[in-house]
Amino acid sequence: MIDCDKLRTNFSDYLDEELPIEQRKELEDHFSVCLECQETIRQMKIIQRSLKQLPQISVSPDFEQKLHQQIFRANQKTTFLPPPFHNWKIPAMGSAIVLATVSLFLVFNDSTEDKSVPVVPPTKIYSPAAPQLPGNKSMNISTTEEESSNSYQSSTLVRDSLGADSSLIDKSGVMTVGNK
Amino acid sequence: MITKTKEGKKSSITDEQLIARFQLGDVQAFDILVRRYKDQLLNFIYRFVGNRSDAEDIVQETFLRVYKNKHYYKEIAKFSTWVYTIAGNLAKTELRRRKRHKIFSVSNFINEERDYDIPDKEHSPEKKVDSSIQETIIQKAIEKLPIKFKEVIILRDIQGFAYEEISQILNIPLGTVKSRVNRGRLKLQEDLKFLYETEPNTRP
């Protein structure tokens, strides 16, 4: 006995008239003996015809006008508003400017301090035993330490450092101490 | 007005020539494409989502995407394939969105205003009512189909596309298209058999 389910896989091709003659004949022979398949294919034909005859609808009269408005709005958005990828650039540029300003300030501030040492050589230097103090002093200390390592007037510095007063360094820095 | 798929393209200029002109900046070419496809796309989407207003919004969005992404079209495919792919994807997205939000468009369908003509002018007013009810039932049956069957049935049996083009629009193998059409048709027959059943003794 022929398997109905297996034959059903060819129903679509049968309806579309795309089935080879042998298979078509086999199906038609089956329809003549199987009322269920015969009824199924009959209904499928009607449904296919009904689908083709479904009423067609048309777009509303203002469809194109609405579309042009949408396109206009989309164009406006692209023209007048910054594109999404620009959004991160503005704050990034701002941050870069701020960072650059701060960096320049620090660099120039540092170099000013550097220049002061060779112009006016300090006569006194802080004692290594003196307490660490916050602020520019630390920079002055490091500068002085660097300079001291270069044997620049090392004997004077060592001698002066013996009489150095940490409170004087704190208030006026190395320059002031040296001038005194 | 009755608009039939694939009809009304009497102009000698092809869709592909029009999109090429549009890619070079000719906006009038875009307008011609809109006029050629607006109704057939509306019918495709309408059968898909079952709601006229949503269908029109999706068609609008389809053309907007064509406008904004014109340079993505390559001549290796037909313009119709490209535009139907865009529209079909938008329709599927809408159906998935509805599924998430549990919106059932079938219930909206009955109350929806329908301003189209019945194609068969020979129908009497009574028959017109009958065919209108029948159409509602068929539409519900289409909507009930799983998406993979629904899309091929609409493209093949309502819009009249060739299997090859459906395969390109949906980006699935030809054999899969044919198999899905067969299964979709059998499913529709199963769901609509009450409508067409005849008494056993009246069968030919």
Q: Which of B136, B175, B122, B127 is nearest to B50 (CA)?
A: B136
At a CB cut-off of 8 Å and minimum separation 6, what does A14 contact? Answer: A24, A27, A41
At a CB cut-off of 8 Å and minimum separation 6, what does B60 contact? Answer: A63, A66, A67, A70
ipTM of the complex: 0.78
Distance CA B2, CA B43 (A): 11
Distance CA B157, CA B187 (A): 14
The upper half-sphere exposure of residue A164, i.e. CA atoms within 13 Å in the direction of its Cβ, equals 30
pLDDT at residue A7 is higher than 70: yes
Q: Which of A40, A43, A57 sits opposite B52 (nearest CB)?
A: A57
* pLDDT tens digits along B105-123: 444 444 444 433 334 444 4
Nearest CA distance, B12 vs chain A (angstrom): 23
Query: CA torsion A107→A108→A113→A117, rounded to 10°?
Result: 100
**A36, two tokens:** 């269920």
Q: CB A12 to CB B181 under 8 A?
A: yes
pLDDT at residue B98 is higher than 90: no
| Residues of chain A contacting B138 with CB distance shorter than 8 Å | 47, 50-51, 54
* pLDDT tens digits along B148-190: 999 999 999 999 999 999 999 999 999 999 999 999 999 999 9
Residue B201 is predicted with a pLDDT of 53
- Each residue of A103-141: b (16+ CB within 10 Å) or e? eeeeeeeeeebeebbeeeebbbbbeeebeebeeebeebb
Distance CA B117, CA B135 (A): 12
Torsions phi, psi for B107 (to 5 deg): -70, -30
Residue B200 is predicted with a pLDDT of 56
Residue B19 is predicted with a pLDDT of 96
DSSP A172: H
**Which of A49, A63, A65, A76 is most worth mutating to test chain B (most B CB atoms within 10 A of its CB)?**
A63
Average pLDDT over residues B20-26: 95
Confidence of residue A99 (pLDDT cuts 50, 70, 90): confident
